[in-house]
Amino acid sequence: MRKYIFLNFLLLGIILTAPAQYKVDTMCGAKVNLDEDEKLLSRYEPQIPGAGYVKAVELAVEFWKNCPVSPTNKLPLYLTHCSMYRDGNGGYYGSSWPHNPIVVNAQLVQSMAIDWRNFSGDETMIEITRQALDHHLEYGTTPANWEWASVPYASSEAGDIIYDGASKFDTATTAENIGRGDGSFVLEVDKIGEMGIAYLKFYQITNENKYLDAAIQCADALVKHVRKGVHGKGGLEWKTLVLTSPWPFRVKAETGQIAEDYTSHVVENLRLLEELLRTKEQIQLPEEKSEAYKKTADLVWYWLYSSEGPIKTSIWKGYFEDIRIDEINLNRVNNSPMEFARYLLKKPTHDTNISTTVPSLIWWVKNTFSEPGMNAINEQTGCYMPMGSHTSRYASICAMWYEYSGDEWFKEEAFRYFNHATYMTEPDGVVQTGHNWGTEIWFSDGYVDYIRHFIEGLAAIPEWVPVGNHLLKSTSTVQKIKYETNQINFSTYDKQSEVVLRLVTKPKSIIVSGKALKHINQLDGDGYIWKPLEKGGVLKLKYTNGHEVNIIL
């Protein structure tokens, strides 16, 4: 009997002292939190699902609002540097690596001016974003008489106020850097759409025509240069054995010479063209442009689903600015399929087989980029390291697919991967690129391509949002929003929208441009539905004839 008792105590000791099932015990200075099943919990407020996500975002936003300034150009470091380092004296300095200004400046619109501002009511996000977009318009746009005219550069040299490509590797002699990056006066065509849709969304917030004009210039350049004769209905004429996309990835701005041919990342160009088409009456888009935009968008959709497109081939590559030129398409990236999945989930009528397409994209990314032993996603095969931005991106798509499908597996997946991403945000608001990245803090991976994914995930699963009053998402761009003790007031660009809010209490009334919305059981017409939670609840409303919304609590 004593032997059995001793053995039981020994086994109990092994269980109690067994190492955690997670790959690491600490990340970014914090002990890893696990639940009773040894599964990962959030860094902040781990026992309350979702609370840690909001905390991580709050810390990151506060740091961004007080971003260190360059001592040489007196601008926030994120405007002229891709990343920064701590200087050991409580300060920070910019890195010498080429900058990626479109990724930072464009994603500021979604992360800060839209998602965080809607959630919090923080109007300072408008001026912060305006500064970045105005800087890009003035210092990062090609001349009007070049082949690729009046479009934005994706890269710049570290510390330079002017964005005109990155010359750092033009004369490289080491094997590590030969053929790397964009080069001087080189554009990335997918980023033209990314910046264009950012300009357009900011126009929808501000009604300032300079941003609309910039968006249209981006769209016109894309239509002019789409490769109509290389692919499309009525026969395929492939020029080489390398699969050819509707646009090349990298081009020389002045001459149009192709520097790298293939990119799968056409979704941002589609977003720009289709949003201009959707709002063509509001912006008085000429019919000639409308027809050209529609033909180009149709051609791109055809290519995406053709036997040569990435839906079939899984050749998802061509996004990152500092990667080597990849003429034989060896590299793979996670963000291109995930951002395409996001667009499908927001525009599901584009794919009649969406119940196969989106889960397939999610599983492909999980199988290709997940880090063994962790709930983390690696960036690309050319830089196979887990990062917070890509982990939170994957989590947000899982959350959105759960909202669409009701499949609980994806909710759990979103939960664990979001939990991992929270560890990247330190208590002082510094967001580390990845748990093992080192000391370099990237503005894209750490902030603007990180914050937005948490907000989109919370919008898809609003019961994760801590009790409070928050606008989570709107199908129309929110122009103004104000939270008061007993009411919420906001206005939208379109007179029709579907909106989701997390509220502390059921509204007493909802008025849209002077007309009361009625409580309905299903959101198939104008009205609202209320889902009570343990505290407060979720409000979903739909309206088709107004811009101004007043919610009385």
pLDDT in tens, 443-468: 999 999 999 999 999 999 999 999 99
Measured CA to CA in angstroms, residue 193 lies from 175, 247, 450 at distances of: 32, 11, 20
Residue 145 has pLDDT above 70, yes or no: yes
- E strands, 95-249, are 165-166, 183-184, 186-188
Local confidence band at 4 (pLDDT 50, 70, 90 cut-offs):
very low
Residue 307 has pLDDT above 70, yes or no: yes
Residue 236 lies in a domain: no
| Structure confidence at residue 402 (pLDDT) | 98
Alpha helices (H) in 90-159, listed in sequence order: 101-108, 117-120, 124-139
**CB-based burial of residue 280 (10 Å sphere; 0-12 exposed, 13-18 middle, 19+ buried)?**
middle
* Residues in CB range of 437: below 8 A, 6 or more apart: 385, 387
Is 549:510 a contact under the CB 8 Å cutoff?
A: yes
Helices and strands in the chain: count of H runs, count of E runs: 18, 21
373 and 417 belong to one structural domain? yes
450 and 474 belong to one structural domain? no
493 and 403 belong to one structural domain? no
What's the mean pLDDT in 403-430? 98
Residue 490 lies in a domain: yes
Number of domains in the chain: 2
Local confidence band at 293 (pLDDT 50, 70, 90 cut-offs):
very high
Residue 47 lies in a domain: yes
What's the mean pLDDT in 194-218? 98
Residue 368 has pLDDT above 70, yes or no: yes
Among 418, 436, 461, residue at a domain's last position: 461
356 and 398 belong to one structural domain? yes
Among 427, 461, 495, residue at a domain's last position: 461
Residue 253 lies in a domain: no
341 and 365 belong to one structural domain? yes
Residue 300 lies in a domain: no
540 and 493 belong to one structural domain? yes
Residue written as tokens 């330190």? 426
Residue 439 has pLDDT above 50, yes or no: yes
408 and 510 belong to one structural domain? no
421 and 517 belong to one structural domain? no
Q: What pLDDT, in 10s, does the model give residues 474-496?
A: 999 999 999 999 999 999 999 99
| Structure confidence at residue 181 (pLDDT) | 78
Alpha helices (H) in 406-440, listed in sequence order: 408-422
| Structure confidence at residue 167 (pLDDT) | 85
| Structure confidence at residue 331 (pLDDT) | 95
Residue 214 lies in a domain: no
DSSP secondary structure, 72-119, as one string? TT-SBHHHH-SEEEE-SSS-EEE-SSPB-HHHHHHHHIIIIIIIIHHH
Local confidence band at 243 (pLDDT 50, 70, 90 cut-offs):
low
399 and 416 belong to one structural domain? yes
Q: What are phi and psi of 183, to 5 degrees?
A: 90, 170
Residue 96 lies in a domain: no
What sign results for the dihedral spanned by CA atoms 347, 348, 352, 353? positive
534 and 442 belong to one structural domain? no
Residue 27 has pLDDT above 80, yes or no: yes
Mean pLDDT score of the chain? 92
d(CA 368, CA 538): 36
Residue 380 lies in a domain: yes
Is 499:518 a contact under the CB 8 Å cutoff?
A: no
The region of weakest confidence among 27-31, 243-247, 517-521 is: 243-247
Domain span holding position 435: 1-58+330-461
On whether the pTM is more than 0.75, the answer is yes
Is 442:104 a contact under the CB 8 Å cutoff?
A: no
Among 426, 461, 496, residue at a domain's last position: 461
398 and 513 belong to one structural domain? no
What's the mean pLDDT in 57-77? 97
336 and 457 belong to one structural domain? yes
